[in-house]
Chain A
Amino acid sequence: MIGRELTRLLVRALVAVVIVCQRPALSHDQGSLIEKGAPRRQMYLRIDDFSLTDHLGNAFSFRTLREKVVLAGFIYTTCPDVCPLITASMRLVQEGLRPDERKSVHLLSITTDPEIDTPEVLKSYAQRYKADFSNWSFLTGDLPSLSGVWKAFGVKVQRKARGLVSHTTLTALIDKQGVMRFAYYGTSPDSKMILRDIRGLLSAR
């Protein structure tokens, strides 16, 4: 009996150690959570138009966001670790935008688990974060459509179990011409840094 308890204790301790020590390069790398902020990388990657479905069940086309700066995060609603941090950071970015900036900036949360994340589930998730839907869309779609979007952004997705997905922890900033200019890899992107980059892109000609 004591042996079994000891084994369970050891297994739990081992799981905790494994979670903390995962390689930072892997998706959902909880090890990097200990660091504040996420690695920021400058990019120049054109994102082609794509069509998905938003949290209201309406068709969504990326093309409609041209002339706006877009902040896109990849999440899924039953994610038990990093996605809440990414969405919370995006919420801080939305809060930090001035009223005049809100018209020129749009936020996208794109699911990595279409099996679970229907428009209704995404809407409920967004409401828990008190997301303002006026400039924030939560997107889902069928697997082929989403696979194309993940690939376009360089996001790798691997299903582990129902409602449990491993994916690249990317938050991307896209300029008014539809070019991805900044990539924030990691679990807790710094909202102040993102706001600074957004303002830089807004002021660019």
Chain B
Amino acid sequence: MATQVLILILFFLVAGCASSERMERMYAQRCLGCHGVWGRGDGPLAASLPVSVPDFRDTIRSKSVIQIRKVITQGKGIMPAFEPALAKPEIQDMVRMVRVLSQKGRSLEWWEKFEPLVWAHCSVPWEFVLGYEEPANREKP
């Protein structure tokens, strides 16, 4: 049993961050316009905004999972608050996508996978731990 748990933990640690189709679709619909393809804050709308859009590589260095989730759910400045519209798994997708994109286009150091912040973003199965439900039916009312 202990070996199985250890293997499971190691799997989560080594697996690293990956995106799913749901995450990609969510990002394209709700985030890409401002945050850009790679989360560098250079989306097609960014230049028109009255504020600068953060680079996710800086965001993950300065904010915890909880802080990033709070910005996504409650909004900040002109960034929309997504909590009223999205289900918790969708919010979680957004939180994780910040980490996934922050790792794109650069080679990861081995220790980064074991960094608590990275682990909290990528390897903790939050939906399982917190018992999130799947998004409700999105059909037109």
Binding site for B on A (CB under 8 A): 8, 11-13, 15-16, 19-20, 30, 33-34, 77-82, 84-85, 87-88, 115-118, 121, 124-125, 128-129, 159, 161-164, 187-188
Nearest chain A CB to B54's CB is how many angstroms away?
15
Q: Is B28 within 8 A of A15, CB to CB?
A: yes
Q: Is A80 within 8 A of B29, CB to CB?
A: yes
The answer to the question of B140 belonging to the interface, with a C-beta cut-off of 8 Å to chain A, is yes
Nearest chain A CB to B72's CB is how many angstroms away?
11
Q: Is B32 within 8 A of A77, CB to CB?
A: no
User: Pick the contact of B48 from A12, A16, A34, A163 — CB < 8 Å?
Assistant: A34
The answer to the question of B45 belonging to the interface, with a C-beta cut-off of 8 Å to chain A, is yes
* Given A11-B24, A128-B77, A78 and B48 contact (CB-CB distance below 8 Å): no
Binding site for A on B (CB under 8 A): 19, 24, 28-34, 36-37, 43-45, 47-50, 74-82, 84-86, 138, 140-141
* Given A11-B24, A80-B30, A116 and B80 contact (CB-CB distance below 8 Å): no
Task: Give the distance in Å from the alpha carbon of A19 to the alpha carbon of B37 in the complex.
Answer: 12
A-B contact pairs, 15 of them (CB 8 A): A8-B24, A12-B24, A12-B28, A15-B32, A16-B43, A33-B48, A78-B84, A82-B45, A85-B49, A85-B50, A88-B49, A118-B84, A125-B81, A128-B77, A163-B86
Task: Give the distance in Å from the alpha carbon of A11 to the alpha carbon of B45 in the complex.
Answer: 18
User: Pick the contact of B47 from A11, A34, A79, A88 — CB < 8 Å?
Assistant: A34
Q: Is A19 within 8 A of B82, CB to CB?
A: no
Q: Is B78 within 8 A of A81, CB to CB?
A: no
Q: Is A78 within 8 A of B80, CB to CB?
A: yes
Chain B residues near A85 (CB-CB < 8 A): 45, 48-50
List 19 additional contacts besides A8-B19, A125-B75; criterion CB under 8 Å: A15-B32, A16-B43, A30-B33, A30-B45, A78-B80, A80-B34, A81-B33, A81-B45, A82-B45, A84-B79, A115-B141, A116-B85, A121-B81, A124-B75, A124-B81, A128-B76, A128-B81, A163-B84, A188-B48
Give the nearest-CB partner of A159 in chain B.
B140
Nearest chain B CB to A190's CB is how many angstroms away?
12
Chain A residues near B77 (CB-CB < 8 A): 128
Task: Give the distance in Å from the alpha carbon of A110 to the alpha carbon of B74 in the complex.
Answer: 21
Give the nearest-CB partner of A161 in chain B.
B138
Nearest chain A CB to B53's CB is how many angstroms away?
11
* Given A11-B24, A78-B84, A162-B138, A19 and B32 contact (CB-CB distance below 8 Å): yes
* Given A19-B44, A33-B44, A34-B47, A163 and B82 contact (CB-CB distance below 8 Å): yes
